[in-house]
């Protein structure tokens, strides 16, 4: 996808959506690795301000934007009914799709780019780093509740927006293929990281095998539960909304649980270059575990809870492997902002995996408390 031109968007894309008022500002927004996100501010004649989140969907990653938007529209409608029944605020507690002026859920432009718009959740923030155990705990409750709210969702009607998204065995195979192809000759410089993955091939099977055998239940999960996909009220500090619904698909609760741990139960940022600053944090691990079990409201099975350390390590290893694969493939998947950015990200993930392995018994003891 090409670079983004704000003026062009203002004139060619924004007017296609049913936004209220005159456009006064269009600015880049957020720090997601996949879509291009903008915030559009409009002013009405009476002075009231309306804000929207406009996104250029990454259609190299999400091959079928129409199916993806169908998922999002159906899932958000389902959530909206529950929020309404509970007397909540439907404008702030779920994403709301703003249609185009001809009532479509997204549009494509002459460059072949796909666009969609959400109502901007007002007076809300998301965090790129865990600032307190309390916030992390709250995000855990929110992700647990999110999964619980979707427990009755007709899973068979959901499109798989990225096939095999958290199939770690498949991720391993794709990593090996990228290694064999080594299209930009980077493999020679990352031998230590490559060995780290190869030594853990057997581990990659644990969740896939348990799902195949029916030992773990398939649920409707979010699949991308990093902390910056949760919006907090900027005044009360309470969680308002889970965003980034592009990967809502059938999956394991361990994916949601584990992905949050990999991003949040650490003392360093995902792309920290000084690995001494990146340590697995057992206190944050426990805060999240407690919140997630509570948020799921007793719906997790004993096996799911026992396997939580596996989920945490699996999602961390898988993500590191995905960053390394992208580094070997010349950075075509995750957005990068500097040289070797994906390699830096890979290294933090592997540092966390190594820490988890060293503290495995302590992790097992923590989750045991919540069975």
User: Which of 16-24, 31-39, 135-143, 359-367 is the region at the interface with Mg ion (rule: CB under 5 A)?
Assistant: 31-39
Least Å distance, CB 155 to Mg ion, is 22
Q: Using the rule CB under 6 A, which residue among 229, 316, 342, 348 binds ligand GN1?
A: 229
Q: Using the rule CB under 5 A, which residue among 17, 19, 26, 32 binds Mg ion?
A: 32
CA angle 72, 101, 78 (to 5 degrees): 25
**242/356 with CB nearer ligand ADP:** 242
282 binds, among Mg ion, ligand ADP, ligand GN1, none (CB under 5 to 8 A by kind): none
319 binds, among ligand ADP, ligand GN1, Mg ion, none (CB under 5 to 8 A by kind): ligand GN1
Residue 202, class by beta-carbon neighbours within 10 Å (0-12 exposed, 13-18 middle, 19+ buried)?
A: exposed
With b meaning 16 or more CB within 10 Å and e meaning fewer, what string describes 296-329?
A: beeebeeebbebbbbbbbbbbbbbbbbbbbbbbb
With beta carbons less than 8 A apart as the criterion, state whether 124 and 241 touch.
yes
With beta carbons less than 8 A apart as the criterion, state whether 18 and 100 touch.
yes
Q: Using the rule CB under 6 A, which residue among 161, 168, 223, 228 binds ligand ADP?
A: 228
Considering the rule CB under 6 A, would residue 33 count as an interface residue with ligand GN1?
Answer: yes
E strand intervals along 229-279: 230-233, 239-242, 249-251
Considering the rule CB under 5 A, would residue 229 count as an interface residue with Mg ion?
Answer: yes
CA angle 53, 334, 262 (to 5 degrees): 90
Least Å distance, CB 96 to ligand ADP, is 8
Q: How far apart are CA 53 and CA 243, in angstroms?
A: 11
Q: Which CA distances in Å does 109 have to 12, 62, 106, 211, 359? A: 8, 17, 10, 41, 51
Task: Give the interface size with ligand GN1 as a residue count (CB under 6 A).
Answer: 12
Considering the rule CB under 6 A, would residue 34 count as an interface residue with ligand GN1?
Answer: yes
User: Which of 32-40, 42-50, 230-238, 301-309 is the region at the interface with Mg ion (rule: CB under 5 A)?
Assistant: 32-40
Q: Using the rule CB under 6 A, which residue among 21, 30, 217, 250 binds ligand ADP?
A: 30
Least Å distance, CB 226 to Mg ion, is 7
3-state secondary structure of 7: helix
Q: How far apart are CA 328 and CA 121, in angstroms?
A: 37
Tokens of 227: 């902390």
Considering the rule CB under 6 A, would residue 269 count as an interface residue with ligand ADP?
Answer: no
Site string for ligand GN1, 250-289 (x = CB under 6 A): ---------x----------x-------------------
User: Which of 26-34, 69-77, 124-132, 249-257 is the region at the interface with ligand GN1 (rule: CB under 6 A)?
Assistant: 26-34
- Cα dihedral across residues 83, 87, 91, 96: positive or negative: positive
List of residues contacting ligand GN1 (CB under 6 A) = 32-34, 224, 226, 229, 244, 246-247, 259, 270, 319
List of residues contacting Mg ion (CB under 5 A) = 32, 229, 244
């Amino acid at each position: 996808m090409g670079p983004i031109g704000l003026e062009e968007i203002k004139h060619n894309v924004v007017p296609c959506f049913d936004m209220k008022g005159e456009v006064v500002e269009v600015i880049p927004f957020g720090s997601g690795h996949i879509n291009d996100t903008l915030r559009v501010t409009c002013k009405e004649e009476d002075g009231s301000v309306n804000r929207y989140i406009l996104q250029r969907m990454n259609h190299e990653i999400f091959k079928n934007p129409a199916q993806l938007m169908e998922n999002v529209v159906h899932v958000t409608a389902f959530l909206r009914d529950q929020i309404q029944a509970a007397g909540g605020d439907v404008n702030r507690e779920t994403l709301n799709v703003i249609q185009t002026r001809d009532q479509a859920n997204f549009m494509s432009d002459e460059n072949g780019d796909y666009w969609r718009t959400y109502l901007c959740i007002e007076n809300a923030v998301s965090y790129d780093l865990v600032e307190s155990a309390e916030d992390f705990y709250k995000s855990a409750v929110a992700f647990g509740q999110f999964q619980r709210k979707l427990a009755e969702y007709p899973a068979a009607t959901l499109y798989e927006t990225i096939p095999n998204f958290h199939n770690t065995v498949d991720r391993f195979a794709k990593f090996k293929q990228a290694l064999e192809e080594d299209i930009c000759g980077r493999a020679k410089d990352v031998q230590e990281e490559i060995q780290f993955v190869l030594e853990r091939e057997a581990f990659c099977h644990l969740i896939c095998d348990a799902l195949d055998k029916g030992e773990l239940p398939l649920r409707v999960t979010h699949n991308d539960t990093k902390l910056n996909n949760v919006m907090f009220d900027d005044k009360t500090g309470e969680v308002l909304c889970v965003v980034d619904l592009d990967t809502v698909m059938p999956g394991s609760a361990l994916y949601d649980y584990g992905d949050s741990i990999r991003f949040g139960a650490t003392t360093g940022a995902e792309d920290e270059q000084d690995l001494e600053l990146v340590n697995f944090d057992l206190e944050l691990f426990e805060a999240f575990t407690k919140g997630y079990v509570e948020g799921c409201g007793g719906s997790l099975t004993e096996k799911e809870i026992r396997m939580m350390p596996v989920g945490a390590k699996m999602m961390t290893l898988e993500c590191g492997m995905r960053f390394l694969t992208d580094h070997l493939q010349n950075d075509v998947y995750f957005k990068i902002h500097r040289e070797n950015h994906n390699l830096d990200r890979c290294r933090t993930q592997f540092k966390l995996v190594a820490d988890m392995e060293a503290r495995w018994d302590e992790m097992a003891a923590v989750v045991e408390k919540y069975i």
